[in-house]
Amino acid sequence: MKMKRPLRYSMYVFFCMFCLSFYAHAQNTTITGKVISMEDGEALPGVSVKIKNTNVGVTTNVNGQYSINVPESATTLVFSFVGMTQEEVSIQNRSNINVSLAPDIQQLTEVVVVGFGTESRKLLKGSVSQVKSEQIRDLPVASLDGALQGQAAGVNIVQNSGTPGGAMNVTIRGNSSISGGNQPLYVIDGVPMTTGDFSQVGFGGQGTNALADINPDDIASISVLKDAEAGALYGARAANGVVLITTKRGEAGQSKISFNAFGGFQEPWNMLDMLNSSQWKSYRNDLATGRGADPIFSQEQIDNPRVNTDWLDQVFRQARIQSYELASSGGNEKTQYYVSANYFDQEGIVRGTRYERFSFRTNLDHKVNERLKVGSNINFSYAKNDRVEGDQSLHGPVPNAITLPSIYPIFNDDGTYNQDGPFANPVAIYREALNEAHTFRNISQFFAEYDILPNLQFATKTALDYMNLRETSYDPVTTRQGERDNGLGFEANNEVMNITNYNTLTWNNSYGNHDIEVLGGYSFERFYQRTSFIRGNDFPNENFQNLASAAVISDASASGLDRSINSFFGRIRYDYLNKYLFSFNARYDGSSKFGRENQYGFFPAAAAAWRLSEENFMAGNATFSELKIRASYGLTGNDGIGDFSSPGLFGASRYLGQSALIPIQLENPELRWETTRQANIGIDAGFVNDRINVTLDLYHKFTTDLLINRPVTSTSGFGSIAQNIGEVLNQGIELGITSENIVGGDFTWSTNFNIAHNTNRVITLFDGQAIDNIGRGSNRIEEGQPIGIFFGFESLGVDPSTGDIVFRDVNFDGQITAADRTKIGDPNPLFFGGITNNFKYKNWDLTVFFQGSYGNDIFNGSRIFIESMKGNDNQSADIERRWRQPGDITDIPRATESDPNINNRISSRFIEDGSYLRLKNLTLGYNLPSDLIRSWGLSRCRVYFSGQNLLTFTNYSGLDPEVNYSGVSNQVFGTDFFTYPQARTYTLGINVDF
């Protein structure tokens, strides 16, 4: 009996517990599902899923999936996402609920790519400009930086020359560094790109451009991160801004094949007016009589010249440009793909120049299961660049065509090249000299994303960026340079490889009205570079061009470089009611570039935003459809310094016929990053139901610890040592306006406008010492002035009594000496920007894009030579109004070989207003009627005409106001010295979708 009672009791307890568990199970149900976009079927990550009238909720993961426990009393789930209509779905005893959200016209806003993710534009806290693929479509440019020009506020892009495939100078919010580099960091599909000029054979300032290896048609969007909050996750390399590039990807659904092509021609839009044979002979007679000699040419020779060669016409040409692209994209729910192949061919308007590129891209995404997604991005390209020397070279076709007098013929009577002039025959140069650069590029990355939990995701990405640049140069004896060396050849090879690995862990969740995201990550980069260079001369004849045929190897060198950087980074985002927005970003970088004491740097940033338009007191406001105030502050770094600037170095030498090691650099173990502290205040406002959107930003950038080579006493045996010295300030304002001016109906009109102003000033330098006499324009860096001002003598005009230039006596000592040099110009613009108008009428579309710069000066260094009136070189036709006799009123001084006044010294005489407004692009397109093309098996067929650089409004007298002979130099810019100008381009194109 005693045994039964415990058994009955135990059974009773078990039964009660079973009932309670059944009751609990009945009270709590797990509901799972997926949320997609009704517009394109794509999964929506970050959607808030809440139980109605409670604070219980979750958010969808990267695949749009969710899982939520709901009590028996729950009847409705609420699905909400910024830019989408809110959906309320009845539970009705279901355990699986899938939802499609439709775009909310009232709240719709694009998703913007930011560091390690995306964010709704309305929830942005930092300063980010986005350029979509539609904005850069149909532009006949070789590189993405060319496509970006004038499209984003605060991004100043100068196309240094018209060289096909040439480098551009890109600065974001001003020049922050003197020696450490001012170019932004480029990140493609989440991985930093290798950028810059890796050429070893000198061609003036117009080097190669590693960005040209990317086909602009593969780009889906470009985001420019401008303030510290937006760029802090890239830490030590973000001081100059970050350009995030995302490439196109496939989408689930019907496969699509696209064919895009254009072809056309380019031509010079401006030519210098140089002296013809008669004018040049008359000018040379003036020089002779001025020194008391007899005239050189008779009047008969002046009036009836035997030769009158237009050298510029011989060098410039109408050039072809063409591009063909075939792309395919599509996939299913598990696998999506995008594949493209492109051929781009641009002849230069200067004969002998050409840029050809073959590129192939494949982007693949595959969902292994509900938790794991893998993918790859692979880009191969090969480019061949035919180049000619320019800018500072005595052997460039353009400088020689400008300066060689027209009295010399192209050929001698026996058919050989005439080389009698003071300069080399430019026709011989471009016809006979060989200058080729061959670039092979492979940018490949592989990634995986794994959902550890519904709201916890791990992502890893490994990338390889490999580039091989081989340069071949040969000047045969038929050129003046080759004749001097009996044939001159170069062979250079530059092999660059960057291996990158990124790992991130992301957690996000929603607690009632609180949305939180936490990201943490680690990355590692390893950079390798191997170079070799060989110079040979004395070749058998012009048919033997390989260096193996050179009798003398006059120079040979090779070098190797390994460096690495490892980083820890993190971000916390907190949003309350999508109204009060906060973020904190930080990165901890370690680099092998810097000294033992400071190899690591910490770069944090914080931001907050308040969406006033979501407040109750703004309800019913008829003025604002969106109003947000943003503020951020943070630190970013700059590691653009030479790789071996910190350690003490030894170099090889020879002593008494034997090899030896000698010290060549002082050690500085305390060398560290330049650091930029940036504060940003911004306002985002929408009007008329978001048909007009305005973004206004004010920023203050203060850069300290500038990386500068400080002079040391010569008794030390060294000339300088790299140290952190100096400060630079940039502050400015940016304004961007987008508007839908006319919507609905057959005719629509939209406008995109941006303008920016930046003030740059050097605060401190070492002992206040200015850095002077930089470049041909005598650029200068001094405290209290912008970087790179022009410093020389101030011209007061031509003295009517003597014909000499009068220079201002700055120190009033009665003499014109070096002490009278002063600031004579500033190459930094006051304002720059662009405006695009898009019109559509039925099947027609028209895009008109103007881009310009205002308030910048140009030092026209070419005029120093073509207005010198001293030697045998040709002169500008402007010297026809030169001073000839007392009383003449003119701006051109006298012609004289004896010039004690030094009329052509560096002075304000050669400073010109570089402001310009350019019709950068005009495109007129027509979409063929769908009823017609459907029978052809096409879903879209558009034909268009596009014109590039059609009009340029400027007072600049040179070939092109958008110019810099020194490429992407930090210290020398705004100087023109016989620089290759940009072309005017006309193209016809077609876009076809199957």
SS3 for 558-591 is EEEEEEEEEEEEEEEEEEECCCEEEEEEEEEEEE
In order of 89, 146, 201, 399, 654, the CA distances from 535 in angstroms are 76, 34, 10, 24, 21
* 73: CB partners within 8 A, 6+ apart: none
In order, the DSSP letters of 170-187 are EEESS---SSS--PPEEE
Q: Measured on CA atoms in the order 82, 85, 90, 95, is the torsion positive or negative?
A: negative
pLDDT tens for residues 219-259?
A: 999 999 999 998 889 988 888 999 999 999 998 887 899 99
- pLDDT score recorded for residue 205: 62
* Residue 981 to residue 354: CA distance in whole angstroms: 14
**Secondary element (H or E) of residue 134:** helix 133-136
Q: Measured on CA atoms in the order 503, 509, 513, 518, is the torsion positive or negative?
A: negative
Contact in structure between 227 and 184 (CB atoms under 8 Å): no
* Residue 70 to residue 282: CA distance in whole angstroms: 98
10-residue block means of pLDDT along the chain (994 residues)?
Answer: 39 39 53 86 83 83 86 89 81 90 62 88 91 81 84 89 85 89 89 86 73 89 92 88 93 88 95 96 91 91 94 96 95 94 96 96 95 96 91 83 96 94 92 94 96 94 96 92 92 95 94 92 95 94 88 92 93 94 95 83 95 88 91 90 81 79 85 92 93 96 90 78 91 96 91 96 92 90 95 97 96 94 96 96 95 96 93 93 95 92 96 96 94 88 95 95 84 89 95 92
- pLDDT score recorded for residue 900: 92
- What does DSSP say about strands 99-101 and 28-37: parallel, antiparallel, or unpaired? parallel
In order, the DSSP letters of 428-452 are HHHHH-EEEEEEEEEEEEEEEEEEE
Give which of 985, 984, 919 is closest to 953, Cα–Cα: 919
In order of 472, 553, 915, the CA distances from 560 in angstroms are 20, 21, 43
* 470: CB partners within 8 A, 6+ apart: 437, 438, 439, 491, 492, 493, 494
- pLDDT score recorded for residue 15: 40
* Residue 37 to residue 98: CA distance in whole angstroms: 11
* Residue 909 to residue 205: CA distance in whole angstroms: 24
Partners of 930 in the beta sheet? none
- What does DSSP say about strands 789-792 and 674-687: parallel, antiparallel, or unpaired? unpaired
* Residue 234 to residue 848: CA distance in whole angstroms: 35
User: Hey, what are 653's tokens?
Assistant: 């030498």
- pLDDT score recorded for residue 104: 66
Q: How many of the other CB atoms lie within 10 Å of CB of 817?
A: 11
Q: How many of the other CB atoms lie within 10 Å of CB of 20?
A: 10
* Residue 979 to residue 989: CA distance in whole angstroms: 30
* Residue 767 to residue 137: CA distance in whole angstroms: 51
**Half-sphere exposure (Cβ direction) of 415: Cα atoms closer than 13 Å:** 0
Q: How many residues does the chain have?
A: 994
AA letter at 560: G
- pLDDT score recorded for residue 3: 38
User: Hey, what are 35's tokens?
Assistant: 């949320």
Write the burial class of residue 934 (CB in 10 Å: 0-12 exposed, 13-18 middle, 19+ buried): exposed
Q: What is the pTM of this model?
A: 0.86
